[in-house]
Amino acid sequence: MGHTDKTGRRPIVVGTAGHVDHGKTALVKALTGVDTDRLPEERAREISIELGFAPLTLPDGTTCSLVDVPGHERFIKNMLAGATGVDVVLLVVDAREGVREQTREHLDILGLLGVRLGVAALTKIDTIPAAAVGPAGETLSAYLAGTSLAGCAVVPVSARTGEGLSHLLAALAVAAGQVTRPGEAVPDPAEVSASASAPGPASAPAIFGGPARLAIDRAFLISGFGQVVTGTVANGTIAEGQRLQLYPAGPIVRVRRLEVHGRPVPRVTAGERAALNLAGDLKDVSLRGLVLAEPGTLEPATCLGLSLRLLSGPDPVKDLERVRFHAGTAETLGRIILLDQDQSDLGLPVPVVFEAEVPLAVALGQAFVIRRYSPPRTIGGGTVTVPNLDHALGGRPRGRSARRAAATLLAAGSGGGPPRHPPVPGGFSSLATYLKLIGSGSGSASAAAPLPPGVRLLAGGQHVAEEAFYQAVWSETADRLRTRHEARPHLASAGREVLWSWLKGRGLSPSVWLESFASEGLLTLEGGRVRLGGWTPLRTEVVETARRALDAALREGRFSPPSLPPAGAGLPQEVFSAALETLLEDGQVVCPSGLAGGLAGEPVFHRQAIDIARQLLEEHLDRHGEVTVAEFRDMLGSTRKFVLPLLEYFDREKVTFRRGDLRVRHPSRRDDHGGEQRE
């Protein structure tokens, strides 16, 4: 386990927020003694550009990693990277200027990321009359009442004189005491009711269990050590010697050394900021913005299913609008696909798809923020509901049916809260991979292995799926099969190819999905055909009349079947087409080409003729070992027009095998007929 402070609690992350020049960096230095403006450019311009970090110990002994973010609108990208993993926000507002543009945008971002604990520092009180401090604080409290920091403490301070710093530290300690993570005691609900009622998604706390994950916010080289990266551990535990994968596309690396604010540690856990010295082939790898995670636990994708809450603004979001997507420490350009064009209920989550221009790797339930491409402005945020939607859909949801399928999957994936178990990456996975993910045994594929509620073992016992994802795939499969049935009500079933391409795009073999659905009685599999549970075909008397006419004509035609429909039948061609489909489905007639289109010129034979032709062919092969087209033609008393399709049919059925101009017995059948045949 990671280290704890003298309060017995694990360290937390405090992040600053606020408008440029409101005194964030000066306040951090006054609290910690660390000047987080490291770059010469930052000191020359007296403006923060990059993220800054400093250790902070609160009065009750709680240890914190303090992240100082830039306030200028040009560096919102860096601010968003720093806001990743923040437990408590230290909002900084200049007492003279009050709330400004970046104050508002930072607060919007924090609300969208689910950060609800914080303290507001009313800074530079030494620059205004003492009588004005109280009203300035009241004005700030009134503004915060409509944000995710409603009810937070407002503390007047001066970084220059030190006035109010002790009160600020005490207020931070109170806020830090309300931070909870799985496995820790939950504070009195009455103490946090104000922040819990704030708008926005529930804050997703760092999770101690499950696979390790860290988004990289800084990367640099140190002489004698090599590559070092920093970030906040979002999930699990990272230990020295551990092997991690760089996502979305990078090598596997080894953690050579771990430090927390310059102090070596053997391991770090969720919620801790850490520096990792990495060993591996990192030449030409741009590390900032990448994610370090256990191999096989994330799946890069270009389409994500999102639950998006839009902020109020003058212009509605447009379908396929180009936007900036921020998750973890990465900014990715892409387009928003609206599945519901109604944006009247601002503040309520709506299902959308983000189509990225390059692959990215995110986790189920991960928070994100979306900003307009130009001019850059925060327009919304929320949580990821389907981390690899393109894999689930088999492509990008641009068409109407693909958008409908996406909406179904997103509706199934939006459970209204964080997952109660480690999610199946992308909705489906091999059983072995998932068992490794949840830490169950060695990860060997065993159908008897215990699975969490909400995770389903699929047919064959080698794959698992999220229950919501499974139901979404079934819903669309049933709709497609029902549509096929209704289009051909005279047929009892449909060819599996009707569903093959759709199910193939769901990431697993179509057979796995079909056999899983069949095991529940949702559908019936009959050879190469499939039928929806409860479906009964509707065959009219006129179709039955056509069936009888076709059956008689094909019986009589034997090896030289007539053209269809039979002459003098007196029924419409579409009736004979339906009748022929039913005969093909029942197996009473055979189309050697494998097509169901006898009326389109393909020869069709009665099953009785097929069986007789096969018997004659096998008897000839038993005697002579080979047969020519001419010999088979004479044997049947037919013509080349019909004999060639029959021989090709027997080739596919593995009765014969073509060798030049000859047919011989298929190798798979030699053992049944006296071993090797004559050359």
pLDDT value of residue 127: 93
Q: What is the pLDDT of residue 198?
A: 38
Cα-flanking dihedrals φ and ψ of residue 205, to 5°?
A: -70, 160
Going by pLDDT thresholds of 50, 70 and 90, the confidence category of residue 186 is very low
- Determine the average pLDDT of the residues in 217-227: 87
Interatomic CA distance for residues 472 and 450, integer angstroms: 23
Rounded to whole angstroms, the Cα distance separating 489 from 483 reads 10
**Rounded to the nearest 10 degrees, what angle do helices 541-557 and 573-586 cross at?**
70
Chain mean pLDDT for the chain: 81
664-679 mean pLDDT: 62
pLDDT at residue number 112: 87
More confident residue, 93 or 341: 93
Confidence (pLDDT) at 173: 93
Query: Are residues 271 and 13 in contact, defined by beta-carbon separation less than 8 angstroms?
Result: yes
Q: Are 265 and 187 in contact (CB under 8 A)?
A: no
CA dist 45 and 21 (Å) reads 11
Residue 196: pLDDT above 50? no
**627 Cβ neighbours under 8 A, 6+ residues apart:** 617, 620, 621, 635, 656, 662, 663
Whole-number pLDDT of residue 224: 83
Averaged over 584-588, what is the pLDDT? 83
Strand partners, 378: 371
Stretch 4-24: mean pLDDT, rounded? 76
| Alpha-carbon span 188 to 190, nearest angstrom | 5
Predicted pLDDT of residue 333: 96
Give the pLDDT confidence score for residue 356 in this predicted structure: 94
d(CA 321, CA 82): 26
pLDDT of residue 189: 34
pLDDT at position 253 over 90: yes
At 414 the pLDDT is 55
Q: Give me the pLDDT at residue 154, please.
A: 94
Range in 58-62, 129-133, 627-631 with the lowest mean pLDDT: 58-62
Q: How confident is the model at residue 122 (pLDDT cuts 50, 70, 90)?
A: very high
pLDDT band at 321 (very low <50, low <70, confident <90, very high): very high
Q: Is pLDDT of 676 > 70?
A: no
Across 582-586, average pLDDT: 83
Of the two residues 447 and 622, the one the predictor is more confident about is 622
pLDDT of residue 181: 59
Looking at the chain, the whole-number percentage of residues with pLDDT higher than 70 is 80
pLDDT tops 70 at residue 674: no
Give kind and range of the element (H or E) at residue 81: helix 76-83
Contacts for 670 with CB less than 8 Å, ≥ 6 apart:
676, 677
Q: What is the pLDDT of residue 48?
A: 66
Task: Please say if the pLDDT value at position 120 is more than 60.
Answer: yes
Q: Is the Cβ–Cβ distance between 40 and 114 less than 8 Å?
A: no
For 298-366, give the DSSP string: ---EEEEEEEEEEPP-SSPPPTTEEEEEEETTEEEEEEEEES-----STTS-EEEEEEEEEEE---TT-
Q: Determine the average pLDDT of the residues in 464-473.
A: 84
Q: What value does the mean pLDDT take over residues 464-476? A: 85
- The answer on pLDDT for 299 being more than 90 is no
pLDDT digit string (tens) for 601-614? 678 899 999 999 99
* Residue 219 to residue 288: CA distance in whole angstroms: 6
Give me the mean pLDDT over the 628-635 stretch.
Answer: 92
pLDDT at 387 over 70: yes
- DSSP assignment of 233-245 equals EEESEEETT-EEE
Q: Higher pLDDT residue, 600 or 261?
A: 261
pLDDT digits (tens, 9 = 90+) for 522-538: 999 987 888 898 888 88
Report whether pLDDT(27) > 80.
yes
Amino acid 569: pLDDT = 61
Q: What percent of the chain has pLDDT over 90?
A: 31
- Name the phi and psi angles at 431, rounded to 5: -60, -40
pLDDT score, position 550: 87
Please state the rounded mean pLDDT for residues 489-502.
Answer: 82
Q: How far does Cα 607 stand from its chain's mean position?
A: 49
pLDDT for the residue 578: 84
Asked if 361 contacts 248 with a C-beta cutoff of 8 angstroms, the reply is yes
Helix (H, G, I), strand (E, B) or coil at 8: coil
pLDDT digit string, tens, across residues 548-559: 888 888 899 899
Question: Is the pLDDT confidence value at 448 over 60?
Answer: no
Residue 240: pLDDT over 70: yes
